[in-house]
Structure 1
Amino acid sequence: MIEKRKFHIGGHWVDPVEARDHQVINPATEEPVAVISLGSAADVDRAVDAATAAFRSWSETCVDERATLLERIIEIYERRSDEMDEAIRLEMGAPVDFAREQQTPSGTGHLQATLEALKTHEFERPSPRGGSLLRHEPIGVCGLITPWNWPINQVAAKVAPALAAGCTMVLKPSEIAPLSALLFAEILHKAGCPAGVFNLVNGDGPGVGAAMSAHPGIDMMSFTGSTRAGVAVTQNAAATVKRVALELGGKSPNLLFADADLETAIRFSLESCFSNSGQSCDAPTRLLVERSAYEGAVTAAERIAAETTVGDPAEEGDHIGPVISNLQYERIQGHIERGIADGARLVAGGPGRPAGFEKGYFVKPTVFADVTNQMSVARNEIFGPVLVMIPFETEDEAIEMANDTPYGLAAYIQTGSPERAKRVSRKLRAGSVYINGAAPDWDVPFGGYKQSGNGREYGEFGLEDFLELKSITG
């Protein structure tokens, strides 16, 4: 059993004000693998005090000093990448290959993209008419709340730009998957991050998240998670009028036109939806298919879904692992059962665990066809390996259907026509549009429209989220 009961506050590993143990469960075995402490408002107070004291000096450091720290962090992070792979496997059930090839490298990607952005950013520049000086300054003490589904990705995407901007911070990682964040704290400590600049307090939303959001000593909240929780963060932050940056849920449309290569498009669509066991906020979970290609697409989806294997995260291979928890497993089962009850055609998967699994939160890769855009499975973020297929007749209908959602995080287009790709992408109400399987770089802005959040992360855009703009005239 791994024991990680201490918090990182003021440059030291300290005991919580009040001991409250919490077990971290391996979702593949349903057995505890670690124990952490859940903090309280008193722990948040200590961390904010440390961050406030450190801000006075850290906010005045030069770009070179902050860049040097990021370079040291990258060096140590890469040395300890095997440990990060293992932490992510244990805490969230990511298969070893997937952890090594995608989850862990995302931390390096964000650190390097932020370092490049820091070195090229103009912190001072003249106003357009030249009569004033425009100056970017760190916003202050930042509260960072990160999720369990891409744990180190979101930690690095927030901590790196906050450091680069000259901010100090208090991080609350998900209490369900805290091991990667605790390892990251060790890496920052070893890299020589000044005392109080980075602080970590484990805890749940009501005990620590709410205290951070409402804290008068925190100048900004950066939150990634569900839309429901994002609303709560915003409400708690309102009384102190702090900046709130949100990266929330999604129900991303994937528009497949008949002129696309059907086999390539369907394979991409299913692999992208099922990747990370469907636990990605920007997963293309609504596959909208042009009517003339629809039945061929359903047949291909049935075949490719059957090829998708579910397996033990500890074993090598390209299989998918479990979902994060029993609560999430039960929610996904409810969505699948609701889809069947609403009349959607079950093409692959369905309720229950895959064959051969009696324990662990494993879900069958599931595909529904003949879905309407008003069905529950098409409206709600399922956050599991569940794809819904909906036919459309015209380009305009596809665009209207794609935009008919409260979310707007990402959208996908599969077409053989570059002109159509450009035309349709401009009409989709989403923060990111991916054409024919393209993947973004780490310096491309990430964030959503509507109930998918506000603000943008990654690279220079993430850096700007942690900066205030001051004008100096005269």
Structure 2
Amino acid sequence: MREYLKFYIGGEWVDPARKATFDVVNPATEEVAGRVALGSGADVDRAVTAARKAFATWSQSSIVDRVEVLRSILAEYQRRAGDLGAALTEEMGAPTSLANGFQVNLGAGQLTTAIDVLENFVFEEQRGGSLIVKEPIGVCGLITPWNWPMNLIAVKVFPALATGCTMVLKPSERSPFTGQIFAEILDAAGVPAGVFNLVQGDGPSVGGPLASHSDVDMVSFTGSTRAGVSVATNAATSVKRVTQELGGKGPNIILDDDSFRDNVTKGVMAMMMNSGQTCSAPSRMLVPGSRMGEAAQIAKEAAANVSIGDPNGDFAIGPVVAKSQFDAIQTLIQQGIDDGATLVHGGLGRPEGLTSGYFVKPTVFADVKNDMTIAREEIFGPVLTILSYDSIDHAIEIANDTEYGLAAFVAGNDLEAARDVAKRIRAGSVAINDGFDFAAPFGGYKKSGNGREWGEFGFHDYLEIKAILGHSPDRA
């Protein structure tokens, strides 16, 4: 059983200010997999103090020095990739193929992207008679969720390091193992003392004090919209910058053409990946009304082919992360049935043959109306809703009829039509035919948050912009 009972503060592994622990439950077995220390405001104070002290020198470091540190981290990250994958499977139930593949590789991809961006980033620019300077914002509070731990830590920590900021990371208490290993990686890579600090804990005990701390200059938060509101409220009194990547209810518009079967199938598989625990998942599939019956049959066949079981075995998906998550999903599945949606596949309870673990049946609802609860609320499980549209204008109207605006999808052979649809959807990113790009910005409209991560755009929120007037070159 894992025990992580110290925090990483000021370049050292230190004891928490209080003796309190949290049992991390393996969602596949429902057994305790380890314990982590739970921090408090006192631990946050100590970590922020260390970060503030380190900022004086790290903020003045050169691009060359920072690139060297990031490359050292990359080498250590690659060396520990297997340890990260094993921890992911244990703490959140990700199948080994996903944990050791896309989950861990996303973190590495974000790191190599940050290195590429840093080597070419313009921190000073002459504009007329003024010099525009981009400077590190200061001490950053980074709060991450449990569903894609390495990606969501990486998109915050690496841009912060690259821009010359110092930071305090609070991972989710549900996926703390990867956060602890990540701190070991940065320590082994030689990140200067105090530049990166780790305090484990829950939202009220650590997240709140971190967001409200007067010596934290910005907070970057990824999680639920409800929790995001709490973070922003806590941060408001000190007028710090707050960036948030929150919930989503992604529309996936399937165009009416001869690629329909393939695109419906792909949409089902994309929804089920990571057991549906993805804020940018294509959870609302929109199909032509005349093809609803066909779409439902195709989706049923695809969902039936999604294998589910022990994440250490050869299965496509594992359990959801916790009992509370399992129970919430069951409630929403029942709500879908009660509201009159057609249950095409899956439904309530565990899959056949699984008597323990938080396993949810891959579930598909057809004939869903956009005012139904399952079309409005983020289910965060392997549950797909299929809605119908009468025309492209109608499809776009449905797609935009949501309080969220994180990610959207368009699938079809007619690229000109797909591009036109993509431009009209109110979302921070729209993928045409499975498009993917580490350099593209990621973030949301409306209640899906503010600010952008990934690539060059991920640097911007960690920088202040200074104008030095009277800096005309001809006056030098």
TM-score, length basis structure 1:
0.98
Measure how far apart 1:418 and its partner are: 1.5
Query: In the alignment, residue 424 of structure 1 is paired with which amino acid?
Result: V
Contact 1:255 1:289 in 2 (8 A): yes
Correspondence for 2:453: 457
Report the secondary structure of 1:158's partner residue: helix
The CA distance in 2 between the partners of 1:403 and 1:236, in whole Å, is 30
Residue 446 of structure 2 corresponds to residue 443 of structure 1: no
What corresponds to 1:235 in structure 2?
Answer: 233
Q: Distance in 1 between matches of 2:258 and 2:189?
A: 48
Q: Helix, strand or coil: the match of 1:73?
A: helix
The corresponding residue for 2:125 is 125
Q: Equivalent residue for 1:323?
A: 320
Shift of 1:264: 1.1
Would you identify which runs of 4 or more consecutive aligned residues in structure 1 move more than 4 Å? none
Where does residue 70 of structure 2 map in the other structure? Answer: 70
RMSD in angstroms over aligned alpha carbons?
0.7
Q: Distance in 2 between matches of 1:273 and 1:166?
A: 37
Q: CA deviation at 1:294?
A: 1.9
Q: Is the 8 A contact 1:110 1:157 kept in 2?
A: yes
**Equivalences for 1:9-48 in 2 at 5 Å?**
9-48=9-48
Partner residue, 1:296: 294
User: Kindly tell me: are residues 260 and 175 of structure 1, through their superposed partners in 2, closer, same or farther at Cα, counting changes over 3 Å?
Assistant: farther
User: Which is worse superposed, 171-180 or 458-467?
Assistant: 458-467
* Paired letter, 2:56: R
**Partner residue in 1 for 2:162:** 164
Match of 1:271 in 2: 269
3-state SS, counterpart of residue 426 of structure 1: helix
* Counterpart in the other structure of 1:347: 344
Secondary structure of the 2:318 match is coil
Aligned to 2:36, what secondary structure does the other structure show? strand
User: By how many angstroms is 1:318 displaced?
Assistant: 4.5
**What SS does structure 2 have at the residue aligned with 1:391?**
strand
8 Å contact kept, 1:258–1:292: no
* Partners of 1:443 and 1:460 within 8 A in 2: yes
Equivalent of 2:415, from 409, 418, 424?
418
Encode CA deviations 1:10-39: one digit per residue, 9 max, x unaligned. Answer: 000000000101111110001111110110
Distance 1:239 1:170 in 2: 19
User: Could you say what secondary structure the match of 1:459 adopts?
Assistant: coil
Cα shift at 1:263: 2.0
Q: Given residue 58 of structure 1, which amino acid in structure 2 is its aligned partner?
A: W
SS in 2 for 1:137: strand
Structure 2 partner of 1:334: 331
| 8 Å Cα contact 2:95/2:310 also seen in 1 | yes
The aligned runs of 1:169-188 (5 Å cut-off) are: 169-188=167-186
Equivalent-residue separation in structure 2 for 1:156 and 1:40 (angstroms): 24
Pick aligned residue for 2:218 from 217, 220, 240: 220
Q: C-alpha separation between the residues in 2 aligned to 1:164 and 1:70?
A: 8
After superposition, the C-alpha distances for 1:289-330 in whole angstroms (9 at most, x for unaligned) are: 012222111111111111111011111x34200000000000
> What SS is found at the alignment partner of 1:133?
strand
| Inter-partner Cα distance in structure 2 for 1:289 and 1:441 | 26
Task: Kindly state the Cα deviation for residue 437 of structure 1 after the two structures are TM-superposed.
Answer: 2.1
Q: Secondary structure at the match of 1:268?
A: helix
| Paired position in structure 2 for 1:386 | 383
Shift of 1:215: 0.3
Distance 1:272 1:376 in 2: 21
Offset of residue 54 of structure 1: 0.4
Contact 2:273 2:316 in 1 (8 A): no
- 1:406-426 residue CA offsets vs partner (Å, 9 max, x unmatched): 000011111221121111111
Structure 2 regions of 5+ residues with no counterpart?
471-476
State the alpha-carbon separation in 2 of the partners of residues 261 and 458 from structure 1.
Answer: 30
Residue 82 of structure 1 corresponds to which residue in structure 2?
82
- 2:433, 2:296 → 1: CA distance? 19
SS at match of 2:424: coil
How is 1:78-157 mapped onto 2 (pairs within 5 angstroms)?
Answer: 78-127=78-127, 130-157=128-155
Letter paired with 1:44: V
User: What is the one-letter code of the residue matched to 1:229?
Assistant: A
Matched residues in 1 for 2:43 and 2:24: separation? 20
CA shift for structure 1 position 199: 0.3
Q: 1:283 aligned to 281, 285, 289, which one? A: 281
Task: Name the count of aligned residue pairs.
Answer: 470
State how 1:170-209 maps to structure 2 within 5 Å.
Answer: 170-209=168-207
- 1:260 CA displacement: 4.8
8 Å CA contact 1:257–1:293 kept in 2: the answer is no
Secondary structure (helix, strand or coil) at the match of 1:470 reads: strand
Counterpart contact for 1:98–1:318, Cα < 8 Å: no
Instruction: Tell me the alpha carbon deviations over residues 107-156 of structure 1, each in whole angstroms, 9 at most, x when there is no partner.
Output: 100100001110000110111xx200000000000000000000111011
- Shift in CA distance, 241/473, structure 1 to aligned 2, threshold 3 Å: same
1:363-398 Cα offsets, whole Å, 9 max, x none, are: 000000111000000000000000001111111110
Q: Is the 8 A contact 2:81 2:104 kept in 1?
A: yes
SS for the counterpart of 1:377 is helix
Cα 1:226–1:260 shift into 2, 3 Å: farther
Hey, what's the Cα distance between the residues in 1 that align with 2:415 and 2:149?
35
Asked whether the 8 Å contact 2:374–2:385 carries over to 1, the reply is yes
1:363 equivalent to 2:363? Answer no
Aligned equivalent of 2:473 = none
Asked whether the 8 Å contact 1:399–1:427 carries over to 2, the reply is yes
| Contact preservation (8 Å) 1:407, 1:450 | yes
